[in-house]
Structure 1
Amino acid sequence: MTQTEPRLTSLSHGGGCGCKIAPGVLSRLLAQAPALPVPPELLVGTATADDAAVWRLNDTQALVATTDFFMPIVDDPRDFGRIAATNAISDVYAMGGRPIMALALVGMPVKVLSETTIASILAGGAEVCASAGIPIAGGHTIDSVEPIYGLVVLGLVHPDQIKTNAGARPGDALVLGKPLGVGVLSAALKAGDLDAQGYGRMIDTVTRLNTPGAALAALPGVHAMTDVTGFGLGGHGLEMARGAGCDVEIRWPRVPLLAGARDLAEAGRVTGASGRNWESYGAEIVLPDGFAHVDRALLTDPQTSGGLLVACAPEAVDQVLDIFKAQGFSGAATVGRVLDPTDQPVLRIV
């Protein structure tokens, strides 16, 4: 990036998955959409707000289709491309699939950013796709006021191994693959309060592909998966509760956090999306007495390229953790459990 160019984050009103429309607003918008016929080949659609759509091709293959894009969460163009691509590919892994190819979605202020900067963003995305073993087979570009980058990603999964966010069962344990705090660290970065070590920790987690998803889906004891992204652990945990028709319990002291995230949150480095998330779904979360405001901010903190949240039988927990750790996710932890069915499922924090 040349010295005359503005910081990437200065060109966007929000960054990463913190750009998402608040879940409450999104629900109201989708409720107004016309009902369309659902063909039998569509195995996963919009009904449970899942991570991707899934279309049955034959008895042994189903196509996973997803898209994700956002404005810059960091100023380094290559890192921005890497983060956006990692985040987009994650949805295929969250369904238990393996990615096969991607299409690039590119919106750039071409009169503000140099071709060198834009090319670096695209190169970062291509680097991650190469790591995932997939080509970028095409895409679409526009001249945009704010920088936008992301991917359409296609993958394959066996129809019997699809893992939705709605398959959790009473008694299941919940395992989280990555620590929380990305939104907090990104807010600190934008304010100039994140040191080099903190930036390195953030980049390490948001560019780590959720590759364990395919191996986890093959385990009979794994019943549901989702990735924790813009709606935070609170929102995506609540989606899992709604899908299962059960209360879900999160044991907050067990939830891993990125080093420094709590201190930065206490210093006020939280995103606006955290508050919007709470306004959207806070009425369906039961907090313990004395639950600190900073902890609530971390519970609702939007995660860009966050970790997999896995619901599995208790006897499968060791296998799940072994798969995570064998693929470099040393911070994976058991963070909760699925409770009994209820007419109005809630997320309980203890």
Structure 2
Amino acid sequence: MTDTQARGVTIATIAAEAGVSVPTVSRVLNGRSDVAPHTRERVEQLLRDHGYRRRGGRTSTTARLIDLVFNDLDSPWAVEIIRGVEDAAHAEGVGTVVTAIHRRASDTRSWLDNLAGRASDGAILVTNEVDPTLAAELRRLHVPAVVIDPAGVPAMDVPTIGATNWAGGLSAAEHLIGLGHRRIGVIAGIPALLASRARLDGHRAAVEAAGLTVDPDLVLVGDFEHESGFRLGAQLLAHPEPPTAIVAANDQMALGAYEAVRQRGLRVPEDVSVVGFDDLPGARWSSPPLTTVHQPLSEMGALAARTVLRLVRGEELEVPRLELATALVVRESTAPPRGR
């Protein structure tokens, strides 16, 4: 079916093919519960087959609703993205629907069904693996998409919004090396994520540029949660030759490392310096305030919203990949190693 044909499908068309009344199709679209399950399933399948999108009288160039989809919503990181998206969308008079799919295929399918029913104009996907099936569904529904901080190379031709993770990893290591640290422990992020690999690569580049060697025993892999920062921080400090500084791939793991330092009877930064990544709001209120790499999460969300709205209006994008600058924020969790 061509795009023109898909746009020409009406509720009456769906009703006739399903053998039901127009009000019944309307009730399905509005999520009403007073529709028999087998009837709802038949109507929803026809809506998907036709790529039907209820426009609510809107023109094809004016957006009124965009979807923001996360794997999970259990971190301050997600809150900052949401803040940026909603600020930019609100400025354009556009609503935002936030969904967490928890990496489950069934949740993704449910989201796509809901997307078709409410006729969102665009979608912002955050660290999702955009597989070919999802790509095909979004194209069939005529929903332009933007990916924030992609987990890998997107499997669809969509713009991506990210940050200069490599430069951020470089600046954190250069800061510690400049203070005199030579044994630096690393609590890296999930290797499958592009951001994790870039941060670690930037760290390695700084260490090697200083004529030093990255000790593989001091590079451990975490999962961006406080608990892994605590556990791996304790493992680094138990090393026969422990590091004098620890770099974590996000603030949450850095704060977990704080607790590992404390439980060992040591202090930050007198005994161990610690650097995070993200600069979440809580970083400046930690004790001591955390030195970290500022990632412009809210700005990334706002840029993603503005970009998807440009796509909705049919505008051409100058470049498919945009990266916003990171910047090291030096606070009180870093100092020269003892004896310097």
TM bucket normalised to smaller: under 0.3
TM-score, L = length of structure 1: 0.24
Relative contact order, higher structure (CA 8 A, sep 6+)? 1
Identify, as 1 or 2, the structure richer in strand. 1
Identify, as 1 or 2, the structure richer in helix. 2
Larger radius of gyration: 2
